[in-house]
Chain A
Amino acid sequence: QLTQSPSFLSASVGERVTITCRASQGISNKFAWYQQKPGKAPKLLIYDVFQLQSGVPSRFSGSGSATEFTLTISSLQPEDFATYYCQQLHLYPLTFGGGTKVETK
């Protein structure tokens, strides 16, 4: 089980944003972050905890290990207002966190 926090986050353009995902048990590096905008399919941002997917801006970064993982947006841009999900692929069933909706302050 993955517990993602916060569920909602209000922030301004230029702010640093941090989203956390906690696992109920230790998991390997098979951990990813996705971004989803309304009416669209999710988009892969980060894989293997900290690897940046091709084409994703470097303001996105991932870190963590075992039971706690973090997605950081170093300087929030207008196009970053969206919902973010973590995912573990260490064991079945594959699970996602509950999501974090990043809204404009």
Chain B
Amino acid sequence: EVRLVQSGAEVKKPGESLKISCQASGYTFPSYWIAWVRQMPGEGLEWVGTIYPRDSDAKYNPALEGHVSLSVDQSINTAYLHWRSLKASDSAMYFCARPSLPGVVNVFETWGQGTMVTVSS
């Protein structure tokens, strides 16, 4: 069974750093892109970025590029989303998702359960 299990909820202060994780199981981790999707409270879905674990090639939403970064650790089948300096506007639920086919960025077939990030002074 393909599964994506995300790290738990986080409460941080503005300016702090944060890394949240998405651990994959049930498939060949390096072969499938991993996407991150943001959902602010009461709002819609927004694509954050996508990373290919095999070579760490990453693509970002221009609206967020430079503020977030993506990485992977192939040894533990885990993808990460990180911030060096959080802002209050980063408060949102973050989902990781895996496409239906290997090697291509296509529809998000499998989703993690979400990680709630709250940034407040």
Residues of A at the B interface (CB closer than 8 Å) are 30, 32, 34, 36, 41-44, 47-48, 53, 85, 87, 89, 92-99
Contact of A94 among B44, B50, B63, B112 (CB under 8 A): B50
- Determine chain B's interface SS by DSSP, over half rule: strand
The DSSP consensus for interface residues of chain A is: loop
A93 to chain B, nearest CB (A): 5
Can you list 18 A-B pairs with a CB-CB distance of less than 8 A? A30-B107, A32-B108, A34-B45, A34-B108, A41-B113, A42-B108, A44-B100, A44-B108, A44-B109, A87-B107, A87-B108, A89-B105, A92-B59, A94-B47, A95-B47, A96-B44, A96-B47, A99-B45
User: Number of A-B pairs whose CB atoms are under 8 Å?
Assistant: 56
Say whether B45 contacts A85, CB under 8 Å: yes
The interface of chain B, by Cβ under 8 A from chain A, is 35, 37, 44-47, 50, 59-63, 95, 97, 100, 105-109, 111-114
